[in-house]
């Protein structure tokens, strides 16, 4: 059952990624091209497969380009937060003591802020845009990775093979990079996959609340923000971006959950 959901997730993500890279090149529309003669077209009207928005832009192209942005943001934020998380979690798990206590205090405090509060406050710093979002999402997301890596490293620390390597006089860096991290890549991959999903969701929230990707550039969250004014004439404008988000995030979550089972069968059977 888990294996099947994982491969379903994989298919969803791959198809979506492929579509949003290739299709925009094939479609005869530009995501920013305004056509006031064809506004609010419903889906399946002529060449506009999914219709048009309030100023006649092609919905399909905008969705695909928006999804591409979302996936890229998700992946970059994941890379950044995984790096930060591995570094901090690795160090605290390895050295323990004060480093660990300080870091965990910070993590606890940050978790005290409701996520959206944090995202919005952080968003008011940089110029709104893709890079800023990557930054703020990773600032929020690294803690999860850090906690997982910290826990795993601490658990492995006392195991024979690590103790043996240490007894042979290996340096801390060698032990961390050569002995410990390779043994927990599985766990890291799982959190990272789930983090891509979370990052895409966070982008959607921030852009929806007006602090993310700015118009006219399409983004799934921003499209939803636009759409809420036009629920009466054209509910499709709201429905479609949500579905695309759903496909991406559900797919990634399925992959993550499936991988979790592969990495830790005991937990998988319970979950």
Segment near other proteins (CB under 8 A), from 66-74, 156-164, 180-188, 249-257? 249-257
Interaction of residue 108 with other proteins, rule CB under 8 A: yes
Give residue 16's Cα distance to chain centre. Answer: 15
DSSP code for 250: H
The end-to-end CA distance of the chain, in Å, is: 12
Interaction of residue 250 with other proteins, rule CB under 8 A: yes
Phi, psi of 58 (to 5 degrees): -70, 125
Task: Round to whole Å and give the CA distance between 205 and 187.
Answer: 27
Are 104 and 167 in contact by the 8 Å Cβ rule? The answer is: no
Q: From the CB of 3, what's the least distance to other proteins, in Å?
A: 10
Number of neighbours of residue 178 by Cβ within 10 angstroms: 13
Cβ proximity to other proteins, 179 vs 226, nearer residue: 226
Interaction of residue 246 with other proteins, rule CB under 8 A: yes
From 82, 106, 67, 93, select the one nearest 194 (Cα to Cα).
82
Interaction of residue 15 with other proteins, rule CB under 8 A: no
Positive/negative CA dihedral, 172, 91, 96, 155: negative
Cβ proximity to other proteins, 29 vs 208, nearer residue: 208
Binders of other proteins among residues 154 to 213 (CB under 8 A) are 197, 201, 204-205, 208-209
Interaction of residue 1 with other proteins, rule CB under 8 A: yes
Interaction of residue 97 with other proteins, rule CB under 8 A: no
Task: Give contact residues for other proteins (rule: CB under 8 A).
Answer: 1, 5, 105-106, 108-117, 120-122, 124-125, 197, 201, 204-205, 208-209, 221, 224, 227-228, 231-232, 235, 238-239, 241-242, 245-246, 249-250, 253-254, 257, 270-271
């Amino acid at each position: 059952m888990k294996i099947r959901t994982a491969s379903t997730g994989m298919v969803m993500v791959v198809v979506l990624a492929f579509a949003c890279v290739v299709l925009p090149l094939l479609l005869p529309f530009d995501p920013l091209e305004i056509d006031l003669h064809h506004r609010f077209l419903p889906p399946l009207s002529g060449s506009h497969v999914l219709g048009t928005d309030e100023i006649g832009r092609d919905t399909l192209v905008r969705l695909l380009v928006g999804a591409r942005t979302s996936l890229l943001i998700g992946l970059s934020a994941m890379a950044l937060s995984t790096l930060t998380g591995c570094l901090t979690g690795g160090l605290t798990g390895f050295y323990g003591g004060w480093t660990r206590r300080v870091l965990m205090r910070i993590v606890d405090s940050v978790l005290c802020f409701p996520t959206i509060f944090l995202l919005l406050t952080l968003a008011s710093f940089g110029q709104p845009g893709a890079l800023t979002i990557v930054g703020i999402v990773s600032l929020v997301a690294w803690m999860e990775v850090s906690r997982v890596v910290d826990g795993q490293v601490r658990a492995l620390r006392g195991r024979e093979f690590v103790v043996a390597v240490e007894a042979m006089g290996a340096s801390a860096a060698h032990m961390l990079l050569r002995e410990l991290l390779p043994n927990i890549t599985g766990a890291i991959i799982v959190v990272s996959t789930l983090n891509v999903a979370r990052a895409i969701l966070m982008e959607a929230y921030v852009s929806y609340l007006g602090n993310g990707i700015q118009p006219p550039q399409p983004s799934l969250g921003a499209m939803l923000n636009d759409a809420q004014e036009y629920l009466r004439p054209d509910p499709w404008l709201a429905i479609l971006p949500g579905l695309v988000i759903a496909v991406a995030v559900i797919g990634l979550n399925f992959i993550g959950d499936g991988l979790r089972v592969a990495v830790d069968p005991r937990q998988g059977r319970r979950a």
